[in-house]
Amino acid sequence: MIAYIQYTNPACYPPLQHSSIMFANSGMKVLFLGTGSGGQSNSFEFPYHENIKVKRWNFCKAGWKQKFHYAAFCLWSSFTAWWSGAKWVYASDPFSCPAALIAQRVLGIKIVYHEHDSPNSNSLQKSFFDKCQLFFRKIIGRSANIVVFPNEARANLFRDDTCRTAPIEIVWNVPSREEIELCKNTKPANPILFYHGSLNEKRLPLSVLDALMLLDSNVELVFAGYTAGLSYNYGEWYLDEAKKRGLENRVRYLGPIVDRESLLKECCKATIGLAFMPKHSDDVNMRNMTGASNKPFDYLACGLNLIVSDLSEWIEFYIKPGFAIGCDPEKAESIKLAVCRLLDVTSEKYLVDIKTHDYLVSKWNYEKQFETVLKMVVQ
């Protein structure tokens, strides 16, 4: 058995779904120990699998009660993993490090540490709790049996932070082979721009609406996703901004689609996928998203043309090989030009489609990316 521990809703993370299904299909029992999450993502759920079981505590808002909630969760999750007979604990974020440390040092359980979102070390020096989080992360970084990161840049930062000398496995956030086979683009009559994921001004900026105003009236925008916080609904606010621009008939919000299969089906109805990263950011994750962002891979698997930010690493990974067109996501005219280029397709697009499919089948799928980790755990 393998027990996943994450102090949030684990269903928010496609890599956890993909890896757990691979373990379950190999015959292992999988137990998820998580909590709820703030905002719309609390409703997300994993698809049913006979070898996968999920136990979640209720979400607790920030404050002094959350500190007790967190401490109790760490003790509960580590001992529940042990009591359930887990041979491995899959710790999936820095907040799970104390529970992983208890499982390893006290209960003798092996550890996989897979960091999806890295802490910004400079900003985590303000409180005793933040310092403890970095301290436990450093210990787990050195002692975990297996460490997994979505790209080499973040892995190198982790090595520097934790002084880890053992190897780190790199696993991109790509769709599964089953998802790739299910993705069949329906080629809509009118061009549709599509976005999915967390909703904020950096990922889906107002410049997209301004670009839509510059494009032909038959071009639409469809987006799906969730607001991470509890304070407001970015999706509804974005619709209001579209209405102010006279675009209410050309912009649709699908809400937070809670399962991957339904999300990818909606994605297959579109023409162009938008995967924007901010040009400048203090967030270590935003600065190192190549391979970590599932959006470009999902869009390509669904047969969409792809527009990405013209950042240096994205240019090397997606644009130069011909998988995407780049633009400045902060400028409406730049987005408009990128869309127009992709709508003016030629026979070259067919060649890119073949190349993209070959990449997806050969290496841009989770089974291929995760096979080394799977072998080390199930051996």
What's the pLDDT tens digit per position in 193-241? Answer: 999 999 999 999 999 999 999 999 999 999 999 887 655 789 999 999 9
Q: What is the pLDDT of residue 125?
A: 53
The maximal CA–CA distance of the chain, rounded, in angstroms, is 63
Distance CA 147, CA 90 (A): 10
Examine the domain organization and report whether 236 and 162 are in the same domain: no
Percent of the chain scored above 70 by pLDDT? 95
Helix (H, G, I), strand (E, B) or coil at 34: strand
Examine the domain organization and report whether 168 and 189 are in the same domain: no
- How many other C-beta atoms are found inside a 10 Å radius of the C-beta of residue 275? 25
- How does residue 124 score in pLDDT terms, banded at 50, 70 and 90? very low
Examine the domain organization and report whether 226 and 276 are in the same domain: yes
Examine the domain organization and report whether 204 and 235 are in the same domain: yes
Domain residues for 169?
Answer: 2-173+365-378
In three state form, how does the secondary structure of 217-270 look? CCCEEEEEEECCCCCCCHHHHHHHHHHHCCCCCCEEECCCCCCHHHHHHHHCCC
What's the pLDDT tens digit per position in 148-199? Answer: 999 999 999 999 999 999 999 999 999 999 999 888 888 888 999 999 999 9
Distance CA 226, CA 228 (A): 6
Average pLDDT over residues 10-32: 96
Examine the domain organization and report whether 191 and 150 are in the same domain: no
Does residue 347 surpass a pLDDT of 80? no
Does residue 346 surpass a pLDDT of 60? no
**Neighbour-count burial of 100, counting CB atoms closer than 10 A to its CB (0-12 exposed, 13-18 middle, 19+ buried):** buried
Dihedral sign, Cα of residue 303, residue 309, residue 314, residue 320:
positive
Please give the torsion angle defined by the CA atoms of residues 364, 367, 368 and 374, in that order, rounded to the nearest 10 degrees.
Answer: 140
Examine the domain organization and report whether 116 and 262 are in the same domain: no
Examine the domain organization and report whether 213 and 249 are in the same domain: yes
Residues 306 and 180 sit within 8 Å (Cβ to Cβ): no
Examine the domain organization and report whether 235 and 129 are in the same domain: no
Q: What is the pLDDT of residue 229?
A: 65
Examine the domain organization and report whether 192 and 64 are in the same domain: no
**Neighbour-count burial of 96, counting CB atoms closer than 10 A to its CB (0-12 exposed, 13-18 middle, 19+ buried):** buried
Does residue 284 surpass a pLDDT of 60? yes
Q: Name the token pair of 259.
A: 């399962």
Q: Say how many domains are in the chain.
A: 2
Q: What is the pLDDT of residue 43?
A: 83
Question: Which are the contacts of 280, defined by CB distance < 8 A and separation ≥ 6?
Answer: none
- How does residue 258 score in pLDDT terms, banded at 50, 70 and 90? confident
What CATH number should be reported for the domain holding residue 287?
3.40.50.2000
Q: What is the pLDDT of residue 18?
A: 97
What's the pLDDT tens digit per position in 70-119? Answer: 999 999 999 999 999 999 999 988 999 999 999 999 999 999 999 999 98
Distance CA 321, CA 227 (A): 33
Global pTM reads 0.93
Residues 202 and 225 sit within 8 Å (Cβ to Cβ): no
- Which H or E run includes 33? strand 30-35
Examine the domain organization and report whether 198 and 320 are in the same domain: yes
Does residue 351 surpass a pLDDT of 60? no
Examine the domain organization and report whether 245 and 290 are in the same domain: yes
Examine the domain organization and report whether 355 and 267 are in the same domain: yes
Distance CA 347, CA 342 (A): 12
Over the chain, what is the mean pLDDT?
92
